[in-house]
Amino acid sequence: MNFNYYMPVRIFCGRDCLVKNVDYISSFGKRAIVVTGKSSAKNGALADIASAFEKAGIKYCVFDRVMPNPTAENVREGGSAARRFGADFVVAAGGGSPMDAAKVIARLAKGDAEDVFSLGGAAAEDVLPMIHIPTTAGTGSEVTPYAILTDRVQETKRNVSSPAFFPRAAFLDGKYLRGIPHDTAVYTAIDAVSHAMEGMLSVRAGALSDTLAKESLHMISSEFSSLTADALTDEGRDRLLYAAALAGMVIANTGTCAVHSMGYSLTYEHGAPHGRANGLLLPDFLAVCEERSPERGGQILGAFGCKNAFGLKELFRPLLGGREQIGDDLLRKYAKRAAANKNISNCIVRFDEEDLFRVLKSAVGK
Ligand code: NAP
Ligand code: ZN
């Protein structure tokens, strides 16, 4: 029962929650930059934002150039658009990529920075207020203080985080997820599973984060067969979106562990979508955790309805496409990189470089 837990994001959840809460949005300011990718113009999110802004008399510009796994150059471009427009708040609509980019853009709106990776720990007064609208049910970025950016110099993905990167509000409306490609829906749900499970393995886990994680796993597992059969109902999408936010609330307080550290290399070097990368690694990572901490491993896997890590691997295997077959030299490089990441010491089970290599080898080795 010893824990501390922080969650400063106001959450609106339900059908049409954005347009139903125009009065609340009006309090953010008069000029907004909408940070997004291309899909929000098709899934209804951008149309709802436009309609809410029109009702509230808010002027806005749209920066819709956020790429998947955004780079430093990409967010600096967004920052300069925000400065040119004189935005006084930021609305992010999209998956984790636009939502993460928006956090750094909210800081760059107040002044450019050559090294965006130095913006971790940004002060609250240097970051514009943000509203986040997730259109994938996965990252939970709408309730976390993290922005994950691609670093082309260090050749990996890096976490830029600050308590000031918590959005002020998140609007969860599953209707935006109706046209999501099936593989994206599956990968993003697996990302949320990974967040809940890694959160439960964190040294910072506590009674409250465990409750959120177990509820998230329970909800995702109850929708998993519909999800994999591409037969989700509107209610199912709402539940997955909510479950992903719960898992985000977990990692906002616990952080992630080695699965995310290793997964960054699969994304950076092999183009594996974030959730798919985690899905490839999670079962083999859990197999080690189960061996070294059987009670905790059993609780985590049981919360998702799996008997053991092998059961999870069988469940994920058909969903992840052709498995990469990566040679030992590269896997050793990725293990070394992951071992240097601070997420490693965040886990109750100790993983050294050799352990990480073994997990990688078993998951994606030749
Ligand atoms: P994403 O990169 O945001 O989106 C994946 C693809 O799905 C994009 O092509 C996107 O198109 C499309 N898409 C998004 N919503 C859609 C919808 N409703 N309908 C149709 N297509 C849609 O993927 P993601 O998995 O949500 O986010 C991954 C990123 O988040 C990674 O960079 C990862 O490192 C980061 N992440 C952050 C946190 C955190 O706490 N901050 C946690 C985990 C992961 P458009 O973008 O063109 O619209
Ligand atoms: Zn993730």
Domain ends where: 121, 147, 176? 176
Residue 135 pLDDT: 98
Same domain, 169 and 205: no
**What percent of the chain has a predicted confidence (pLDDT) above 70?**
100
Same domain, 139 and 217: no
The tens digit of pLDDT for each residue in 201-249 reads: 999 999 999 999 999 999 999 999 999 999 999 999 999 999 999 999 9
Residue 38 pLDDT: 98
Q: What is the CATH number of the domain that holds 172?
A: 3.40.50.1970
- The yes-or-no verdict on residue 112 having pLDDT over 90 is yes
Same domain, 144 and 214: no
- Is residue 235 included in any domain, yes or no? yes
- Is residue 42 included in any domain, yes or no? yes
Same domain, 162 and 308: no
- Is residue 325 included in any domain, yes or no? yes
The set of residues, in sequence order, having a beta carbon less than 8 Å from that of 288 and lying 6+ positions away, is 349, 351, 355, 358, 359
Same domain, 117 and 247: no
Contact (Cβ atoms closer than 8 angstroms) between residue 10 and residue 167? no
Contact (Cβ atoms closer than 8 angstroms) between residue 85 and residue 61? yes
Between CA 296 and CA 291 the distance in angstroms is: 10
Residues flanking ion ligand 2, Cβ below 5 Å? 191
- The yes-or-no verdict on residue 12 having pLDDT over 90 is yes
Q: What is the CATH number of the domain that holds 267?
A: 1.20.1090.10
Query: Cα of 322 to ligand 1 centre, how many Å?
Result: 21
Query: Cα of 5 to ligand 1 centre, how many Å?
Result: 26
Query: Cα of 159 to ligand 2 centre, how many Å?
Result: 11
Contact (Cβ atoms closer than 8 angstroms) between residue 304 and residue 283? no
Ligand lying nearest the CA atom of residue 139: 1
Q: What is the mean pLDDT of the chain?
A: 97
> pLDDT-derived band of residue 190, with 50, 70 and 90 as boundaries?
very high
Could you tell me the maximum CA-CA distance found in the chain, to the nearest angstrom?
Answer: 58
The tens digit of pLDDT for each residue in 286-338 reads: 999 999 999 999 999 999 999 999 999 999 999 999 989 999 999 999 999 99
Chain CA centroid to CA 63, Å: 20
Contact (Cβ atoms closer than 8 angstroms) between residue 221 and residue 196? no
Query: Cα of 188 to ligand 2 centre, how many Å?
Result: 8
Q: Which of 39, 99, 234 to mutate to test the pocket of ligand 1 (most atoms within 8 A of CB)?
A: 39
Looking at the CA of residue 191, tell me the nearest atom of ligand 1: 43
Query: Cα of 273 to ligand 1 centre, how many Å?
Result: 9
Domain ends where: 176, 192, 218? 176
The tens digit of pLDDT for each residue in 161-180 reads: 999 999 999 999 999 999 99
Q: Which of 49, 75, 139 to mutate to test the pocket of ligand 1 (most atoms within 8 A of CB)?
A: 139
State residue 16 phi and psi, 5-degree precision. Answer: 60, 25
The tens digit of pLDDT for each residue in 45-69 reads: 999 999 999 999 999 999 999 999 9
- The yes-or-no verdict on residue 21 having pLDDT over 90 is yes
Give residue for tokens 């750094």. Answer: 104
- The yes-or-no verdict on residue 1 having pLDDT over 90 is no
Specify the pairing of strand 146-151 against strand 156-161. antiparallel
Same domain, 171 and 187: no
Same domain, 298 and 149: no
Q: Which domain holds residue 205?
A: 181-364
Query: Cα of 139 to ligand 2 centre, how many Å?
Result: 5
Domain ends where: 153, 176, 199? 176
Same domain, 92 and 142: yes
Taking CA atoms only, the protein residue closest to ligand 1 atom 14 is 95
Ligand 1 site residues (CB inside 6 A) read: 37-40, 43, 68-69, 94-98, 100, 135-136, 138-141, 144, 146, 148, 157, 176-177, 179-180, 184, 188, 191, 274-275
- Is residue 2 included in any domain, yes or no? no
Task: Count up the domains in the chain and report the number.
Answer: 2
